[in-house]
Amino acid sequence: MTYLATFHWGWLLASLLLGFAMGWIAVVHRGQGVSKPLARWLAVLAAALVAAALARVVPGRAGYWLDLGLIMFALYLAGCAVGSWLRDRVLSGHAKAA
C-alpha cells in the first residue's frame, strides 16, 4: 500500500480532487438517485471487492490494479463527502447573513 501511495500519488490526488469537485456540484445538480435494491447490490459488490483485496484472492497485476482502484474509489468518495459538506457550510453561512 505504501508503494501505491508513493508511486501513484498524482493519480490518488487527482481522484481526491475530482471527488471534491463532484461533491461541490452535486448539491446543485440534484439528479435522480439510484434505487434501494441497486444501492444494496452495489454495497455488496464493494464489500466483496474489499474482502477480495484484503484476502489477496486476486494475484499479480490484477490484484495490484484492484488495490489501486479501491484506494482511488475511497479517496473519490472522501472528496465527494468533503466537497458537499464544505459547500453546505459555505451556502448556509451566506443564507444566515442575508
Q: Which of 13-22, 30-39, 42-51, 88-97 has the lowest mean pLDDT?
A: 88-97
pLDDT over 60 (residue 98):
no
Closest CA to 23 of 75, 72, 87: 87
Number of compact structural domains in the chain: 1
Mean pLDDT of 16-44: 86
Which residue range(s) make up the domain with 68?
2-97
Predicted TM-score (pTM) of this structure? 0.81
Q: What is the pLDDT of residue 88?
A: 85
Q: What region does 89 belong to: left with phi over 0, alpha with psi -120 to 50, or beta?
A: alpha
Mean pLDDT of all residues in the chain? 88
- Residue 60 — φ and ψ, nearest 5°? 70, -145
Q: What is the pLDDT of residues 51-94, one digit of tens each?
A: 999 999 999 999 999 999 999 999 999 999 999 899 888 887 66
Neighbours of 27 (CB within 10 A): 13
